[in-house]
Chain A
């Protein structure tokens, strides 16, 4: 025993692995996920030099209008929020590594005096003990630890996915809000021009105060809409800045493209996005892992519920004048009061619960994918409808109104009202495109296993109808 004990301790250390190795492995897994599934790269900034380099790279990216993929890169490689997520994952990973280690051996030392007729007696007892349980179940514990590492990796991937989705949506929101604000400005200009014309017409007696007031009221409402739109644009921009984790000076430098990307020629079809990918969903994989672990631990509990206090120690007693005593000491709690049945029942219930949770999750996941696809598809159809039908029709109405105006069949106020409606339809088209890109991000996230609140299409209020000033 003297020789074999340190050997098993050594073996345990090797088997449970070095904590930093596990952390690196987990990060590599997240990196792979980011590359393969999110099409971006992750940087984990662990030194000032790395941070400086990345900061310079971000500055370089910010020199031109920020594309959506660059926004994702900044978020994954630079934003303190995501860096903090990475670090937290490392903490969890380190804990998992630690959890697989055997409890440290216990060394006990007894030194006893006895003064009697025969003189003083010294009794020295030494024992080096280790939890036999720890040792016996080391393979099982290693397995448990590996489960935890795996969970950590999956959780990190989910966090990454969630970051990517949020950044994409924030970028879409920011670009769209800015675009909307610009068109709202056009609408407000049209209304403002009409109001100014009405003011001059009242001044020369061509309009009554009532007619003038109607045009001015319209302009005033459009100004209110413009203020709202500008506020939305600012808020959406700041939301993106927060997700990217930009410094104040970087925030100032941030420029956005003038418009959202063009709609794809055809939408993704349902078959390729459907059930085939369900197996890959991260949440399903987490639930599976969890179920496996529960199952394993159920088996384990059946044994350990009785033997959980088993403790073994090597003993060496030296007593004055006596030859040294050597031997083992085993401690075993008697199952007199706790027969372990409560622990076993609890474990079984946990397994059942995990089992049903997994079932539920799989069903829900499939439903979520369908909802996400429906949302995506409707958003695509709607955006196309606005682009191909509504906006061209409004444009056509303006063009025909010009012809009518040329023939003095309508007045300039009706012409301006048509222009206003046209711009308002463009606003709706932008909002529909924004919804589409949001839905696209949500669908992608949903396919990979991040439940996203399903898309609700906006109830596009029809643009102000040609009111005219008569």
Chain B
């Protein structure tokens, strides 16, 4: 739920930013604290220039106040607890109660004033990734401004000159602060019809982020560079990520920013899309080509658009398959095909709760429900209408429905397939074995002398022993 003390009357108000003193509060817009990781409905602008709002996946848009024609936002950098998915909470740093912080939505030409209060134990700054602004507002600590000490509030003020997709993040001790989850989305809507910017029916945005949280612990290991175990969108991992629910025929825009330390090929099933913008701005229509996967490199933003004209539940995910697994050990030996006969009992004598896994592959993980360390997520999880989805991390579903009402972002449930449109088991006669060639593919430099083949006992997978 969003708490909007000064902006909207509402139940469930939270004490905001406890240490900001009363006199300061009179001059500052009260920060809005978000306590829920659910996707908030789009925030239709109550004042200022009108625009078509975005929906932040598992996030929300920061309310603002207009003061003498200036849009004032208040971001509070602070330690937060973020539910990564049901069953796992991370102790991160974020803004206004969550990581990522609220999406800031403004309109091209708006004068924007952002108060940034630092409630972290160390200094911080905010860099406004992709914005045209005065050099002193760019937020690189030491270079453009002094860092914001703990307990202090700084003000950033500039005009949102260029429409497009942006993000914000610290530029002070940034390795630590970004590994801890400090980031947020920024959308500048065009002031008027723009030849390269289409009007869309649904506009989603999320940031790619990654954490290394030891299973059973809560705080990310900030020194990890590549071996992360939680690959998230807006600090949420499947099955904690909300689905993208659209009406058939909608023009859909998805804005994606990458603040991890590796690239992510984002892939959508059932539709082709075009990259209509980057953090550099809208792409020229003649530069666009159809794709089903777009690689979002580190520090980049991609804005993709498509017509959702195929009904169904379509997977949308990062195509690096490890990024759709959730927490897993990267040093675990492969057990496929290893005969465990006679050993399972031995191991159980020593470790009574031992269960054999991995002998056939890792799909066991999706099927078995076994106790895990506290505060971690199982790999390969999520139950679909046909069984285990066997996913985790950067994976969600694009749900296209003809009866989804315009402006309705609620989950319509599982797709009801028209008769005869689901893959089925072959029930006819046995098929003849296809002819195979063993002559093809000789190597360019055949080996002379030495062993020709490696001695190996290959065991065909059989039943599962031991459980």
Contacts and interface: CB of A to CB of B under 8 A. Distances in A.
Interface of A: 186, 189-190, 192-193, 196-197, 200-201, 203-207, 211, 398-400, 402-413, 415-416, 418-419, 423, 468-470
Contacts of B280: none
Q: Which of A192, A200, A470 neighbours the largest number of chain B CB atoms within 10 Å of its CB?
A: A200
A400 B373 contact: yes
A206 B336 CA distance: 8
B216 interface: yes
Contacts of A404: 215-216, 329, 373
Contacts of A403: 216, 371-373
B348 to A, nearest CB: 10
A416 B350 contact: yes
Q: Which 9 A-B pairs have the closest CB atoms?
A: A406-B370, A409-B329, A419-B350, A411-B332, A403-B373, A193-B346, A407-B372, A470-B331, A203-B457
Contacts of A186: 350
B222 interface: no
A415 B457 CA distance: 26
Contacts of B331: 410-411, 468, 470
Q: Which of A402, A406, A411 neighbours the largest number of chain B CB atoms within 10 Å of its CB?
A: A406
Contact of B351 (A197, A207, A419): A419
12 contacts: A189-B349, A197-B343, A204-B338, A211-B333, A400-B373, A403-B372, A406-B355, A409-B215, A411-B332, A415-B347, A415-B351, A468-B331
Contacts of A189: 346, 349-350
Interface string B437-467: 0000000000000000010111100000000
Given A200-B338, A204-B338, A402-B354, A408 B362 contact: yes
Given A193-B346, A204-B458, A402 B353 contact: yes
Contacts of B368: 406
B261 interface: no
Contacts of B372: 403, 406-407
Q: Which of A197, A407, A413, A423 neighbours the largest number of chain B CB atoms within 10 Å of its CB?
A: A407
A404 B229 CA distance: 13
A415 B348 CA distance: 11
Contacts of A416: 347, 350-351
Q: Which of B333, B340, B358 neighbours the largest number of chain A CB atoms within 10 Å of its CB?
A: B333
A206 B333 CA distance: 7
A405 B349 CA distance: 16
A193 B335 CA distance: 15
Given A189-B350, A410-B332, A412-B347, 19 more contacts: A197-B343, A204-B339, A206-B333, A206-B336, A211-B333, A400-B216, A402-B371, A403-B373, A406-B372, A407-B215, A407-B378, A408-B357, A408-B362, A409-B332, A411-B331, A411-B333, A412-B335, A415-B347, A423-B350
B338 A409 contact: no
A334 B369 CA distance: 111
Given A407-B328, A409-B215, A201 B373 contact: no
Interface string B319-341: 00000000111011111111110
A398 B352 CA distance: 10
Contacts of B371: 402-403, 406
A411 B347 CA distance: 13
Interface string B297-315: 0000000000000000000
Contacts of B459: 204
A407 B327 contact: yes
A427 to B, nearest CB: 14
A411 B339 CA distance: 16
Contacts of B333: 201, 206-207, 211, 411-413, 469-470
B351 A204 contact: no
Contacts of A211: 333
B40 interface: no
B379 interface: yes
Nearest to B368: A406
A468 B329 CA distance: 13
Nearest to B372: A407
A333 B404 CA distance: 140
A71 B376 CA distance: 55
A207 B370 CA distance: 26
B266 interface: no
Nearest to A419: B350
Given A405-B354, A408-B362, A206 B337 contact: yes
A412 B334 CA distance: 10
Nearest to B376: A407
Q: Which of B338, B339, B376, B459 neighbours the largest number of chain A CB atoms within 10 Å of its CB?
A: B338
Contacts of A196: 343
B365 interface: yes
Interface in B361-387: 362, 365, 368, 370-373, 376, 378-379
